[in-house]
Structures are given as C-alpha cells and as structure tokens.
Amino acid sequence: MIAADQVSKWYGEVVGLNKYSVDIGSGITGLVGPNGAGKTTFIRLLTGQMQKDNGSLHVLGEDPFDNPSLMQKIGYCPEHESLYFSKGAVDFLTSMAMMHGYDKDDAVDRAYKCLDIVGLEVQKRPIGTYSKGMKQRVKIAQALLHDPKLLILDEPFGGVDPVIRVKLFELISGLAKKGMHVVLSSHILYEVERIAPSVVLMSEGKMILQGDISHILDIVEDYTHSIILHSSRPGELGAALMQRELVHGADIQTDSSLLVKTKNPSAFYGALPDMTSKEGFDINGVLPVDNDLQAIFDRVVRK
Amino acid sequence: MRSTKATLALVKMTFWQLLRTRRFVALLVLGCIPLALVAYWAYSTSDNMMPYDFYSDFTLIVYLQLVMPIIALINGTALIRDEIENKTISYLVTRSFSRRKLVIGRFIGYVPVAFILISAPITASYLIVGLTKGGISANLDILGAFILLAFIGVVVYGAFFNLMGVTFKHPLMIGLLFTFIWEVMLANMPGRIPYVTIMFYLRSFAAGIIDAGTVPFWDNGISHWHAAAVLVGIALAAVALAMNRFAKKSVV
C-alpha cells in the first residue's frame, strides 16, 4: 500500500526524514514516535503536500505529489486544528465533497452521511464555535466524504478527552472492518496499541522498528511511564488513580495538571474514559512526557 | 470530468469565501469613500467643467489608479497565501484537482469579487454625476469603457498579486511597495520608464477608448490594441508562472 525507499526531506539544514524506508501493508498501521520524529513530515509526503528531496515514494502504487487521481483514493485528516471556521459543518463538508467532483445533491448527502459516521449531530453554528472533539470529528468526516481506500490520520487523538478518544478508536476500528486501510500517527504508544496491530516506530527522521505491537510492548513491559494529565481537580484525580492502583506515583504540577507514573500503561489508558464518564473527572489532556517516550525508544533500539 | 467539476466547485467556494469576509466589507467601504467627494462636487460646484470630464478624470485617477490596485492587492495576495498561513491549504491540495487547477480556480473565483468591488462605486459615481448634472443615458459609453477597464485591471493586477502570494511569504508588504512605489512613481516618470508599469498600459488603453476629460492625453503613442495585448500577456504570464511555482511548492 505504501512503499518508501530511502526517502529524505530537509527543511533547510534541519532533517525531516533521513533515508527513510518502510513498507506499509493493509489494515491499520500506527506511526509512533516522539515529537520531531518525522511522522507529520512522512504523512505530508504521503498526501502530496510536500515533495521529497530524495528517494522513491509510492502510495497505492503511485507518486503522491500533485496527483489528483490518487487523492480520490486517499482521505487525509491533518494534525492541525485549522478548518474553514466561519462555515457550518454541513456547508464545509458539502464544499469539500464537491471539490472531489460530486454534484451538489450528492455532496450534501455525503456530508450528512459522514457526520453520522463520525457521530456528530448537525450543527448550524460555525465550526469556529465547536469544541476540540467536535472539530476533530469534522476533520475526520471530511476525509471520508469520497469513500477513500486509504485513510491517513495525523495525530487523530491529540488534545481530545478520553471519552471522545474511545469513540474515535471505535470509529477507526469500524472503518477498518469495512475494508478501509488506515495509517495513523501518534506519540502515544499505548493509544495506538488499542487499535493498530502493526506499528512503525520512528525517531529523528528514521524508522527504528516495524512490526507487531505486542512485540514492542514486551520490550518495554517493566518500564515506568510518566504521563501528564490536565484536569481542574488534579489532586482528587491523583488520589483516585492511586486508590485504583493504576499509578504508583502522582505529583500535582500546577492547578490544572498532574504528573503520574505507571508501570501498567495499558490499564491506565484503558481506565481513563471511566474516570471521565463515570467518576466525573474532567480530563482535558493526556500527554506522555516526551523524554519518557524517547527513553522507551532508546530501550527498543538497544534491544 | 471529475477534476473539472471539482475545480468549478473550488471557483464557487472561492467566490463565496471572498464575498463573505470582513475584508470584502472593508474594501467596499473604501470604494465608497470617494463617492462623498463626487457627491460634494456634484452638488456644490458651479464651474464650467463638463460633468463627464470630471467623472472620467476622477474615475481614472481615484478608482483605476488607486482603489483598484488596492482591491486587487488585498484579495490577490490572499488567494493562496492565506490558505497556506491558515493551514487550510492542506484540504485543498488533497482534493481531486491538480495544483495548477487549484491556482487557476482560486483566481477565477477572485475575479468577479474584485470586479464587483470596483465596478459598484464606479457605477455609483456615474449615477451621482448623471442624476445631478447631465442625465444618465447620455454617456453610458463612458461608463461602459470604465467598467471594461476595471475588469481588465482586476484581472491583470489580480494575476500579478496572486503570483506574489504564491512566491513570497509576506506578499502584502511587497505588493504595497509595488503599488505605491513602482506603479505610482514609475508610471509618472518621463521617457520610456513608464513602459515597465501595468498602469502605463491601462492608461494607454483608456486613452484609446475614452474621449472625455484629460484621459486622451494619456495616449503614449501605442495603440489601445497594443496596450490591451500587453495587459493580456502580463495576466497570462502571471497566472502561468503562479501555476508553475505552486505546482512545485511544498505548502507546509
């Protein structure tokens, strides 16, 4: 599906991708790496937004740069939050569908259908007034309008609360079950674990490891993970997590953030939606400490 | 076929996008400010100047040499650059049209918006002069000629500023310098220096088709057909260059 061979991309003197080679097959694949690993650069090359400096890159057998016929087969959800904020969701999606060549009536139908798929109620108000989770769903909806074969999602879970995350996991898994191939990036290994059986680990513009996620998780099994949670009640949240034995350390960083340490990240991430929906904690952000992820990578590389 | 329909949808989206901005309202207000001067002149003056001589000179100097380049500058430089700055370009380059069609589609969507912005006050000032001084129907050919000039102007300047938007990171500043230093100063220099400005050819074209006020004095020895050909050539070259530059550009 995706074949990259010795692909390099430079931003002036800064390397984005350094002789990057990878083969990505069908199903869901996660691109995982710390900030600056080159995930977004790779995705921008895959979606024809940038031109590679060296190497060869093929998506569904074609060069992606300035290739409109390939874009009819690819759905892309960017990392950034930008949208046409003054438009309503239906209006925005209709315009986006029409720019894939659909007639107005068909485009409107597709807009409503995709809003239904992503579980977003039709809103007349402008997108600029939506919550982060709603915007994220609009972004995913615009990527689905033309029934793409391959869906490319750049940090789809970034900044959304744990409940929305679970809904997005279900959505992406559901799309994959219907036969859509998905490539998604994340800097949270345990987030990808829940939906992607196959991962590509990236660091500093290079591929570190590719394969079955369980193998990678075995390598870092006994590692202590540090994660920052954003909540208006960090003290109470920390106490609740300690009581559930999901974490073995919790430090209040600021009035709205908490640093926790856990050796069981799968259980920890799995419990967060319940902490929000059942116990009423407002968890607005989940952010692994970046050095921590780098340490995991170092360990994977060493082994 | 699918790509053509997609490009037409882009044209439509661009048109409505530009029409529904605060920028559009601000430029409409800018275009209407000189109407106050026209109205003041129309109601207060008793000099012997023929009303359509005044109208022609005023429209050429104020609207075609000042307001129109500003309208083209602000909209033209924003066509691609604003999408890049706002990051919404990522939605456009992943649609079912080529990058070249993206540039031409945005440009075609811009033309009617800029044309509305400049032709509306030109028509309004004609109506003010006509209703107060000489009757509306007598000199419709002059109005028609200025409307044609306005159309050509927004196309040529728009194409040029769109190229700036594709090429430079801060095109507005460079465009302002171009508008007020290059176009205003060089176009009024002696000798052949004005030949390097767009305004020279617009004025030459105007001199060939408008026989009122001081407009015919801008006849610089080249025919209005020659001037029109140069203007069309500038517009085509600017659009083609913008398309080619954007076709190779990394947009993030």
Record: contact B1-A49, CB cut-off 8 A: no
Whether A266 shows a pLDDT value over 90: the answer reads no
Whether A288 shows a pLDDT value over 90: the answer reads no
Cross-chain CB nearest to A101 (options B89, B96, B251): B96
Structure confidence at residue A281 (pLDDT) = 87
Q: What is the mean pLDDT of residues A27-38?
A: 90
CB pairs under 8 A between A and B: 85
Residues B18-54 pLDDT 10s? 999 999 999 999 999 999 999 988 888 766 568 888 8
- Please state which CATH number belongs to domain A222-302: 3.30.70.980
Instruction: Give the chain B residue whose CA is nearest to the CA of A93.
Output: B91
Q: Pairing state of beta strands A28-32 and A74-77? A: unpaired
Give the closest residue to A68 by CA, choosing from B114, B186, B247, B17. Answer: B247
Q: Which helix (DSSP H) or strand (DSSP E) does residue A161 occupy?
A: none
Structure confidence at residue B48 (pLDDT) = 59
Least Cα separation, residue B94 to chain A (angstroms): 6
Q: Pairing state of beta strands A198-203 and A206-212? A: antiparallel
Name the phi and psi angles at B180, rounded to 5. -95, -20
Give me the interface pTM, i.e. the ipTM: 0.87
- Please state which CATH number belongs to domain A2-217: 3.40.50.300
Q: Which helix (DSSP H) or strand (DSSP E) does residue A265 occupy?
A: helix A265-277
- Which of B:36-75 have CB within 8 Å of A? none
Higher pLDDT, A194 or A43: A43
Contact assessment for residue A264 and residue A238, using Cβ atoms and an 8 Å cutoff: no
Give the residue extent of every domain in chain A.
2-217, 222-302
Rounded to two decimals, what is the model's pTM?
A: 0.87
State the Cα–Cα distance between residues A201 and A205, nearest whole angstrom. 10
Structure confidence at residue B101 (pLDDT) = 97
Residues A61-87 pLDDT 10s? 999 999 999 999 999 999 998 999 899
CB contacts, 8 Å: A44 with chain B = 250, 252
Segment among A285-294, B44-53, B167-176 with least mean pLDDT: A285-294
Whether A290 shows a pLDDT value over 60: the answer reads no
CB contacts, 8 Å: A76 with chain B = 90, 94
